[in-house]
Structure 1
Amino acid sequence: MAVINRIAGFADEMTAWRRHLHAHPEIGFDCHETAAFVVERLQEFGIEKIETGIAESGVVAVIEGQGDGPCIGLRADMDALPMEEVTGLDYASKMPGKMHACGHDGHTTMLLAAAKYLAETRNFAGKVVLIFQPAEEGPGGGRVMVEEGVLSRHAVDQVYALHTLPGAPEGTFETTPGPIMAAVDSLHVDVIGQGGHGAFPHETRDPVIAAVAIVQAIQTIVTRNRNPLDDLVISVTQIHTGSADNIIPESAYINATIRTFSPEVQAMVHRRLREVADGTAAAHGVRAEVRIDLGYPATLNDGEKTSFAADVAREVVGADAVIADRTREMGAEDFSYMLQERPGCYLFLGQGEGPGLHHPGFNFNDAVAPVGASFFARLVERAQPMSGAN
């Protein structure tokens, strides 16, 4: 089996949907126009059970199959990024400072296409729950949708999601059992000193020197406190302080991102960050106020569901085009909240060469949309076959 013929037949329609979404990006939880577009398409497909306003602008639709059976959930994220587009495309973003630079326009399109096919054929038992989610890029629409009962209310048994992957060969799939993406937390340190004249540093308690020392000391957590076999990234990404060359400021601010897979490593890092910041600050006669914001947990694929999803992907694109043991990565994804609640699998779909994710020149490859949609559709048919079907 390859790309489903019926889905390939409305590839042009999919391209039109995707390019409309690309030209009209929305960010965070404010995806109301995108949601309205999704609802309009779902209604055109004859889908009647549609819920709106979940996690502010999320959409959930239910397609009933033929006969009793379990319930599978398919998720697509809808939100864009707060950045300027530089592609020069005729369907480039019309919204200043907003851009679909992570392929969520393509994700939404692929799930819509699968919905159209599944609503036409109903070649499955039980039901399918289509989850169109806002705020994946932050602050976590997936968590809110789980908290608002999307999975429990519809008795979803398993969940799946796709993400485009630039740089991987067009139309290939990559996934792995267990951890596939990292947990992400944010470190905030305010270093409080005593400012004064730059010509008389002995009369001050300099937060700048202390902040620099804290940043340097943080790196020892990775090199000296971590087992080399455990993955860990701590990247300091911001230092803000000062206003003039002759003023020692009162305070300095440090920001960092923390990426882990193991809860034990995560706990160790949080503890050591506080110890390093407090101790280094004290050594410099200043004070450190440390805050660690918990972000998305690690994305953990279920082993059995991952094996199943890889088999379905092989049906669609062939065995040579599926990598089922890819190396896990330090990016993060809020589909992790759904995988905490239900077994399932997160997969990447190769889209060929071009600018990477979150790049101002990125553009989703429309040629792979029928591949992703066919995967979603066949996943449902294989997971929930009608009586007598295979």
Structure 2
Amino acid sequence: MPLSDTDLADLVRWRRYLHTMPEISGDEHQTAAAVVRFLDGAAPDAIVTGLGGTGVAAVFNGAAPGPTVMFRAELDALPIAEISEIAHRSRIAGKGHMCGHDGHMAILAGLALVFGRARPAKGRVVLLFQPAEENGAGAAAVLADPKFHSLKPDFAFALHNMPGIPLGVSWIKEGPANCASCGLKITFSGKTAHASMPETGMSPAPAIAALIPALSALRTGTLAGGDLVLATVTHVTIGEPAFGIAPGHGELWVTLRTVWDADMADLRALTEDMARAMAAEHGLQVSFSYHDEFGHCVNHPEAAAIIRRALEAEGLPHAEGEAFRASEDFGRFGTVAKSAMLFLGAGETHPALHNPDYDFPDQLIPTGAHIFLAIARDLLG
């Protein structure tokens, strides 16, 4: 392992520093600045800033022509208040690195140290620190940024730590790795009335009350392909907080989830049709807006095979994984490169992702760096 004990101690300290200063999607300015300061010490051939907003990329060029290999980590944290008492707990009220993106950044920082001392034999390595993964906007923004065009990779790799998998064990598979998902806000508009005469108004309450169980009943097999379908109601509001007014307005928020993008289009259409039918039945107007949109994340067979080959060559434990219901916007890089994501076990009893007591296991920093370096050696020498 080309990272020394001193390197690893520095990476742990840096990761814990990032943990104290979480910033949510689109607001990762101080985090990006911390990444740039660290990368400066590794002296890459180029540092690109402001990618897709706050994104940062470091480029390490090899001596001979070859492919461009990109490794990606995420900059953003979550609007979740941390409840742990660890010394490096969040210092920002209501925000925390409850998904481990601080650890993913530390893994890429380890790669920067290695390639800063010894460039790849050929091609180039791009280390991308991507903004706004948690709301699904970051990868699309990076891809749309003209500055990314010169960085366009031939291969793209990422990992995500995963509680529930034994510590240090990797899961990798070809095909679907993460589901497509989106947030749908359904807004019903009717007419208020005096609470003593509700029949003179048009309340959205009956329509929403009927739509909630109908959406919750959507399950695998609903669509023609027979793959996973899931609609999760996440928020409901009806009327004003007053006892004298029968409501005339209501919102229902639901997260839609499918394995494939094509199925997502069908599920959107089905859900909108259900809501329109409820609105018509109760004399309401209905409108729709979409948020936090994630495409499916599909591992390219060649990229997945490269990960598996690296794991086997290094004698690192791994198993055939399964597609996760959770979404991940890394899949968008599959539109420009052969891409694959692996899942790295955080421990079978480790607090789950997005739990308020979650903290990234520091033991995974050398493991993740080891895996990525093995992939780089395979492709770039």
Aligned-residue offset at 1:240: 0.2
**Paired position in structure 1 for 2:338:** 343
Which of 246, 249, 254 is the matching residue for 1:248? 246
**Paired position in structure 2 for 1:271:** 269
Aligned-residue offset at 1:64: 1.3
Q: Give, in whole Å, the separation in 1 of the partners of 2:327 and 2:238.
A: 29
Q: Is the 8 A contact 2:304 2:340 kept in 1?
A: yes
Give the aligned length. 379
Aligned-residue offset at 1:237: 1.0
Aligned-residue offset at 1:113: 0.3
Aligned-residue offset at 1:247: 2.2
Matched, 1:373 2:365: no
> What is the correspondence of 1:64-83 to structure 2 with a 5 Å cutoff?
64-83=61-80
Question: Could you tell me which amino acid in structure 2 is paired with residue 132 of structure 1?
Answer: F
Aligned-residue offset at 1:232: 0.8
* Cα pair distance change 1:219/1:153, threshold 3 Å: same
Which of 97, 112, 115 is the matching residue for 1:115? 112
RMSD: 1.9
Which of 116, 126, 130 is the matching residue for 1:129? 126
User: Identity percentage over the alignment?
Assistant: 30
Q: Is the 8 A contact 2:66 2:123 kept in 1?
A: yes
**Paired position in structure 2 for 1:12:** 9
Q: Give, in whole Å, the separation in 2 of the partners of 1:172 and 1:26.
A: 29
Aligned-residue offset at 1:304: 1.3
**Paired position in structure 2 for 1:356:** 352
Q: Is the 8 A contact 1:77 1:107 kept in 2?
A: yes
Q: Give, in whole Å, the separation in 1 of the partners of 2:29 and 2:326.
A: 27
> What is the correspondence of 1:215-364 to structure 2 with a 5 Å cutoff?
215-222=212-219, 225-227=222-224, 229-242=226-239, 243-293=241-291, 295-318=293-316, 321-323=317-319, 325-352=320-347, 353-364=349-360
Does 26-35 or 309-318 show the bigger shift?
309-318
Aligned-residue offset at 1:222: 3.5
Q: Is the 8 A contact 2:257 2:325 kept in 1?
A: yes
Q: Give, in whole Å, the separation in 2 of the partners of 1:75 and 1:224.
A: 34
**For residues 115-142 of structure 1, what are the alpha-carbon distances to aligned partners after superposition, in whole Å with 9 as ceiling and x for unaligned?**
1112212243111111111111125211
> What is the correspondence of 1:22-37 to structure 2 with a 5 Å cutoff?
22-37=19-34
Which of 83, 94, 99 is the matching residue for 2:96? 99
Which secondary structure does the structure 1 equivalent of 2:226 belong to? coil
Q: Give, in whole Å, the separation in 1 of the partners of 2:290 and 2:49.
A: 33
Q: Give, in whole Å, the separation in 2 of the partners of 1:270 and 1:90.
A: 45
Q: Give, in whole Å, the separation in 2 of the partners of 1:93 and 1:79.
A: 13
**For residues 48-72 of structure 1, what are the alpha-carbon distances to aligned partners after superposition, in whole Å with 9 as ceiling and x for unaligned?**
4111111221111110123221111
Aligned-residue offset at 1:114: 1.1
Question: Could you tell me which amino acid in structure 2 is paired with residue 354 of structure 1?
Answer: H
**Paired position in structure 2 for 1:388:** none
When the two structures are superposed, what TM-score results if normalisation uses the length of structure 1? Answer: 0.92
Q: Is the 8 A contact 1:171 1:317 kept in 2?
A: no
* Cα pair distance change 1:156/1:368, threshold 3 Å: same
Q: Give, in whole Å, the separation in 2 of the partners of 1:351 and 1:292.
A: 32
When the two structures are superposed, what TM-score results if normalisation uses the length of structure 2? Answer: 0.94
Q: Give, in whole Å, the separation in 2 of the partners of 1:244 and 1:309.
A: 58
* Cα pair distance change 1:69/1:5, threshold 3 Å: closer
Q: Give, in whole Å, the separation in 1 of the partners of 2:70 and 2:311.
A: 17
Aligned-residue offset at 1:46: 2.2
Q: List structure 1 segments (4+ residues) > 4 angstroms apart after TM superposition.
A: none
* Cα pair distance change 1:342/1:276, threshold 3 Å: same
Q: Is the 8 A contact 2:62 2:121 kept in 1?
A: yes
Which secondary structure does the structure 1 equivalent of 2:44 belong to? coil
Matched, 1:86 2:83: yes
* Cα pair distance change 1:141/1:208, threshold 3 Å: same
Q: Is the 8 A contact 1:29 1:55 kept in 2?
A: no
Q: Give, in whole Å, the separation in 2 of the partners of 1:229 and 1:223.
A: 6
Q: Give, in whole Å, the separation in 1 of the partners of 2:3 and 2:213.
A: 58
Question: Could you tell me which amino acid in structure 2 is paired with residue 289 of structure 1?
Answer: S
* Cα pair distance change 1:354/1:145, threshold 3 Å: same
Which secondary structure does the structure 2 equivalent of 1:374 belong to? helix
* Cα pair distance change 1:264/1:122, threshold 3 Å: closer
Q: Is the 8 A contact 2:220 2:230 kept in 1?
A: no
Could you tell me which runs of 5 or more consecutive residues in structure 1 were left unpaired when the two chains were aligned: 386-390
Q: Give, in whole Å, the separation in 1 of the partners of 2:271 and 2:291.
A: 13
Aligned-residue offset at 1:287: 2.2
Q: Give, in whole Å, the separation in 2 of the partners of 1:52 and 1:101.
A: 25
Matched, 1:46 2:43: yes
Question: Could you tell me which amino acid in structure 2 is paired with residue 341 of structure 1?
Answer: V
Question: Could you tell me which amino acid in structure 2 is paired with residue 345 of structure 1?
Answer: A
**Paired position in structure 2 for 1:184:** 181
* Cα pair distance change 1:358/1:52, threshold 3 Å: same
